[in-house]
Structure 1
Amino acid sequence: MKLSAIKKYIDLKLVFLLAGFYALFDLVFIAKTAYMQSYHPERHFEPWADFLIYNLLIDWIIVVTYMTLIAISTKRFLYKNYSWVKIIIIHTVFSILIGFFIRLIFDLFAIVTGKIGLSEYQLEESFYRFIYVMDLNFLIYFAMVFIIYTYYYVKQVKEAEKQRSLLETQLVSARMKMLSSQLQPHFLFNTLNSIAVLADLDKEKAKDTIADLSDFLREILYKGDENEITLEQELRTLEYYLNILNVRFSDHLKITKHIDKNILHKKVPALLLQPIIENSIKHGYSYDHTDLEINITIKEEGKYLVIKIDNNGEAISSRHGELLHNGLGLANIDARLKNLYGSDYFFEISNKADAKGVKTIIKVPTI
């Protein structure tokens, strides 16, 4: 078995923690035995060699091995979200079985090594020894199970905190990239130039465009730190951007929206749509495609929210993976989706089936 496969099922840090805990228990047991031999020499005690090797060492190996298997099972319990009642019942049974396995292995070891003859073996005596330490085995087992659950809980908290910090960084990065993109000289120059022209032709439209530019930049700069917002909020930010585009590109750009109004309350990643639209416009226009049509379709399919943005512009020559590698904005979107939903999402940019344009499809779980 490869090292990566072992790490998938066995957490070595947890194994060392369990081994250390039980080693500490054995040290206390050794100290107690030494005290008893010093102050009660009249009692019969095993030789130290037999006590340390045949009792403690073998017992330590058995218990640590058994608890490693329990740790693996516990990890599966956590992923399957078993009820606490079921988990307690399972661990109670396992706590009894650990004593049974220890007794069985010790008996087999004694018979194999000749310490006890098969004819001398007494099942009743073995069962008595099993019952005699059953309460102690129960307490030790649940102490180690407590360590296992605490370890996994702390690990999950740390991973969740790391994930949250990463998502916040990515959101800030997305906002700054978007702001940097929109504050480039050509964007502001073209927008302000359009406003200047409108000032003579349509003062009200000029005022509206100034308001849209102001609101759009404000949304980017001062929107909260939420990684997911409602679709309605996301569309409001997008609307400011689309209004500016309609002024800039006039009759050369047509944007059509098909959005199910019943899903406006559903959550989507913040600042998701605008970079996709921007990418569609940037790569859609060409000498052969001077009039661009963009369709935005958002609907719910099963447990997923499906966002489809397609255009009739220039086809792409690169595959989806190459686009993510070469485009920082697209790579950022993919990274954010991965951190938000793990592997439970779909994101792909490809040419349309008729090769007349490009489509972008995003599927995220509905919340």
Structure 2
Amino acid sequence: MKKRIPYYWLCQIGGWSAFILVYIFFYLTLRTGIQPSFYKMLVSEALVGFVITHVMRVVILESRLVDRPVNEQVMYIILISIVFTLIYGSTTAQVEEWMGIESEKQRQLSFLNKVIRISLGYFFIIIVWNLIYFAYHYVVRTRQAQLDKIRLESLVKELELKTIKSHINPHFIFNALNSIRALIDENPNRARNAITELSNILRSSMQAEKVETVPFERELGIVKDYLALEYIRFEDRLKIEYQIDEDTLDQPVPPMMLQTLVENAIKHGIGKQIHGGVVRVISDFKENCHEMVVLNTGHLNGHVQEGDGFGLFSTKNRLQLLFGEKANFEIKQVGSDLVEARILIPVEIK
């Protein structure tokens, strides 16, 4: 199968070919006299322009200027156009002088005057090239953002259904109701609180599709309700610890994400230990990221380690769609009987 030529090279070749044809048209129709080296000068200027604009593209990409905010891009478009127009003018002047194709009028000018004259004549072409290039990337980025938003909405809706059917599953509800029933006679106040906790969890799972992020404080409240219900079932077999930096409470996090990891810790960790174990929830800042960690007693099995479970798969996808490559999720064995699930979410510096 033949490889297609990238659109960039097609546009470069087509654009500078059009540049040559337009100048030939005006030369043939509007000329006031014959210029002996016109065609050589035109081709040399087009070739220099082809190379200079390609180098300019490399600088733009390496500097990631197309990823900057639009208001900053305008400033960079003007600045980089001026710089590369001067480079274009000096290079063209040197090439024409070396080839001996300068007009009589040009030979009488100093090198600096030649550069200024050529630069003024071609500044418009360079800045139009930049405007087209930046506009193309803006359109592509906007389109990609729209596609990511659609994918995210679809994933969140799927997450809600999976959460209701699987993560907040009938077994958990059944166990919670059994625990509450056992408390009704011996501890009515705790039973009432447990019903409130179960209601909060179910309400939160039903509303997961409506927002992309919630304050960490709200997500932590759901986790505490969930662990409080599980404590009724496990009693002294479950030890719960929190290490929360209060400054992280207002940080935005995807709804039900931390709860999913905590439930995974209970299901695959504590639930499989005869003597139970500990679940530790940590929230802190690490460099420019909000770090959330769930530690639990247990061992990774192959299924969890490969990340095939829906909860872990959705965690990775949601983080990538919401926060891009700067976000990270990993789950690993950090001790002989301790598993760590870690989420890093970039913090916007205001």
TM-score calculated relative to the size of structure 1: 0.77
- The residue number in structure 2 matching 1:166 is 151
- The residue number in structure 2 matching 1:8 is none
Pair 1:227-2:221 in alignment: no
- The residue number in structure 2 matching 1:4 is none
**Aligned letter for 1:316?**
L
- Distance in 2 (CA, whole Å) between partners of 1:185 and 1:317 is 24
1:71-150 alignment to 2 at 5 Å? 71-75=57-61, 76=63, 78=65, 88-108=78-98, 110-111=99-100, 123-124=107-108, 127=111, 132-150=117-135
CA RMSD of aligned residues (A): 3.4
- C-alpha deviation, 1:71, in angstroms: 1.6
Counterpart among 46, 49, 64 of residue 60 in structure 1: 46
Pair 1:284-2:266 in alignment: no
- Distance in 2 (CA, whole Å) between partners of 1:284 and 1:300 is 26
Decide whether aligned partners of structure 1 residues 325 and 291 sit closer, same or farther in structure 2, where only a CA change above 3 A counts. Answer: closer
Unaligned 5+ segments in structure 1 are 1-10
Counterpart among 304, 319, 326 of residue 289 in structure 2: 304
Decide whether aligned partners of structure 1 residues 121 and 357 sit closer, same or farther in structure 2, where only a CA change above 3 A counts. Answer: same
- The residue number in structure 2 matching 1:365 is 346
Moved over 6 A (4+): none
Decide whether aligned partners of structure 1 residues 107 and 326 sit closer, same or farther in structure 2, where only a CA change above 3 A counts. Answer: same
- The residue number in structure 2 matching 1:44 is 34
Pair 1:214-2:199 in alignment: yes
- The residue number in structure 2 matching 1:25 is 19
Unaligned 5+ segments in structure 2 are none
- Distance in 2 (CA, whole Å) between partners of 1:183 and 1:307 is 21
- Distance in 2 (CA, whole Å) between partners of 1:277 and 1:286 is 12
Deviations 1:66-89 (A, max 9, x none): 111112212316179678667634
Identity %: 25
Pair 1:70-2:51 in alignment: no
Q: Is the 8 Å Cα contact of residues 156 and 209 (structure 2) preserved in structure 1?
A: no
- C-alpha deviation, 1:122, in angstroms: 8.1
Counterpart among 322, 328, 332 of residue 310 in structure 2: 328
- The residue number in structure 2 matching 1:338 is 320
Counterpart among 202, 205, 222 of residue 237 in structure 1: 222
- Distance in 2 (CA, whole Å) between partners of 1:183 and 1:214 is 12
- Distance in 1 (CA, whole Å) between partners of 2:262 and 2:64 is 44
Counterpart among 248, 265, 270 of residue 255 in structure 2: 270
Decide whether aligned partners of structure 1 residues 357 and 241 sit closer, same or farther in structure 2, where only a CA change above 3 A counts. Answer: same
**Aligned letter for 1:356?**
D
- The residue number in structure 1 matching 2:279 is 294
- Distance in 2 (CA, whole Å) between partners of 1:148 and 1:287 is 58
**Aligned letter for 2:52?**
Y
Deviations 1:342-361 (A, max 9, x none): 443443323333x1332223
TM-score calculated relative to the size of structure 2: 0.80
